[in-house]
Amino acid sequence: MVNNISKYWWALAAVMLICFNACQKDFPKNVESDDEVVLQSIKIVNAGENGNTVVEGVIDENKKTVSFPRLDTLTDFSNIKFEAVMSGGATLDQASYSFDFGAGEASKTNAVKVVNHARFREYLVTLRLDIPVFGADFGKPVIYDYTNNELGNPVYPSFVSLNTRGTGFDGQHVLIVTRAAGGSHLLKVSDLKQNKIEPIPLNLTGVSGGTYTVNVGAQVNGHSYIANLSGGQASPFKIYHWTDPAAAPDVIANLNIATIPGAGVRHGDNMSVNLDENGNGFMYFGDNAVSKILRLKVTNYTSISDPTVLTNASGSSYVMSFNRVGKTADYIYTGYDAPIRVASESAGITYALSNTAVPIRGSDARVISFNGERYLIMTTAARSGSDAVVLYVYDITRGSSTVEALTLFNERADKSPVYQYALLGPANSSPGTQTGWFITKGEDGKDEKLTLYTASADAGFVLIDFPKKQQTD
């Protein structure tokens, strides 16, 4: 038996040796050749709308890739012609190449062969479209913070004990409407961006009357407005106006609300001013009972006329807002217990977001356009201990109108903001909350920088600059 096993192993070893020798004979050997296949330089010779633009490529020999600067979208990508310098005797495998861009694609990669007789080498060539970019770059904020957020400066001193419930912003100045020491004043944006606090006091000569002599305000194209807080209907409701902070204000409205049928009581908890570049438009004031809106016509910044009473919608809250969208007939109408709504100048609602589309506490909501994109901005008001004070920005670019844009946004599964910033509360009983925006133009008249502003009672205020988006290469 031992003999048989021994014979078996000797036979198996012989078979394995024969197999090994056979494999050795079949294994291909390296064949030396002078037919090199190295791509030394390459360019496209028919780029551009007219097919006469030459574009040089960049070769990475280690990765065997070729990249080009972004190409005009009017290039004939079905017939890309290359001119290349290669190893002696080598050629490209085709006279021209087709780069078929699919819908929404901004780049396309094809393999291009360098051939020299029996040898070849492949390079992956990537072409990219020169597609313009739009909107603001929310990844590059420059923040000038005067809120409770510990990342910035200390909270602005007048934002304590609910002394400051109204503010305004027009890109050049911040208006602080306050009952704190020092009184209402302006702050230059250029100073704030250097962390300098140099208040410009408003002359308050003749400012008197009401439950509070000052409560809310607005800053529009260099014009400062402050309204008092009226009490009962007979308590005067006054609106003051300045263009020179050192001069006594003009009293542009001194209203006995009792003489305006159905106007409600106590005005001045909120103020929405919508004026064009000539100072024409409307001011809106919701009454404290959240039942009526008082609309005042404004002409040439200072002439107040045609008081009109509109019905207030449920949930608007006594710090409601009513902000026009650009030069359209649409207004964004909301409060801290209501969804974002689109309305006419007479408060007729044409569309409303669902209650859960964005935080329901969103206040002073606005729709703005910048560098070809459209955004919804708002800041949440803190009414309870679980509420935060946060500036939110949502991209609502898609859609041909305000209503269509918000409808499409409402239908999206992902409604995440493109930017948010916390002011860190606190919750309070009178969460007067404001937003604002300003666009800096370049020498060519195009949008260059978007500045957002927001403030909330006892939370402070913040300015945030965003540059326009730009291609990174």
Percentage of the chain modeled with pLDDT above 70: 93
Residue 20 confidence (pLDDT) above 70: no
Structural domains for the chain: 39-128 (2.60.40.2340), 133-160+357-473 (no CATH), 162-312 (2.120.10.30)
pLDDT at 91: 96
Assess whether pLDDT exceeds 60 at residue 29: no
In 3-state terms, what secondary structure has residue 153? coil
Q: What is the DSSP string of 265-310?
A: S---S--EEEE-TTS-EEEEEE-TTSSEEEEEEEETTTEEEEEEEE
426 CB contacts (<8 Å, ≥6 apart)? 148, 382, 458, 459
Dist. CA 371–CA 134, nearest whole Å: 5
Average pLDDT over residues 411-426: 96
Q: What pLDDT band is residue 385 in, cutting at 50, 70 and 90?
A: confident
Task: At 408, list the tokens.
Answer: 């499409």
Given pLDDT bands bounded at 50, 70 and 90, which one contains residue 473?
confident
Q: How far apart are CA 1 and CA 144, in angstroms?
A: 95
pLDDT-derived band of residue 386, with 50, 70 and 90 as boundaries?
A: confident
Say if residue 110's pLDDT is above 60.
Answer: yes
- Cα–Cα distances in Å, from 79 out to 33, 97, 108? 33, 5, 14
With bands split at pLDDT 50, 70 and 90, how would you rate the model's confidence at 16? Answer: low
Spatial strand order in the sheet of 142-147: 142-147, 460-467, 447-456, 433-441
> What local confidence, expressed as pLDDT, does residue 5 receive?
44
d(CA 425, CA 390): 8
Torsion over CA: 450, 393, 289, 297 (sign): positive
If residue 164 lies in a helix (H) or strand (E), which one and from where to where? strand 164-169
Q: How far apart are CA 172 and CA 188, in angstroms?
A: 6
Residue 177 has pLDDT above 50, yes or no: yes
Mean local confidence (pLDDT), 133-137: 97
Q: Is the Cα torsion angle 285, 286, 287, 292 positive or negative in sign?
A: positive
Q: What is the pLDDT of residues 277-320, one digit of tens each?
A: 999 999 999 999 999 999 999 999 999 999 999 999 999 999 99
**Do 357 and 415 contact (CB within 8 A), yes or no?**
yes
- Average pLDDT value for residue range 99-111: 93
Radius of gyration (Cα) for the chain, nearest Å? Answer: 34
Q: Which of the four pLDDT bands, split at 50, 70 and 90, describes residue 182?
A: very high
Q: Across the chain, what does the average pLDDT equal?
A: 93
Residue with tokens 């390296």: 30
pLDDT at residue 49 greater than cutoff 80:
yes
The pLDDT value given to residue 472 = 79
Return d(Cα 238, Cα 219) in angstroms, integer: 16
Per-residue confidence band for 425, with pLDDT thresholds at 50, 70 and 90: confident
pLDDT tens-place string over residues 452-465: 999 999 999 999 99
Encode pLDDT of 237-254 as tens digits: 999 999 999 999 999 999
Distance CA 414, CA 334 (A): 22
Q: Give, in order, the Cα–Cα distances in Å from 406 to each of 278, 333, 344, 350, 452.
A: 29, 13, 15, 11, 20
Name the region of 264 (left: φ>0; alpha: ψ -120 to 50; beta: rest): left
What local confidence, expressed as pLDDT, does residue 2 receive? Answer: 44
Alpha carbon distance 176, 111 (integer Å): 63
Q: In the block, which residue shows the tokens 């003009």? A: 250
**Cα separation, 53 vs 75, whole angstroms:** 9
The H or E element spanning position 6 is helix 2-26
Q: Is the pLDDT of residue 360 over 60?
A: yes
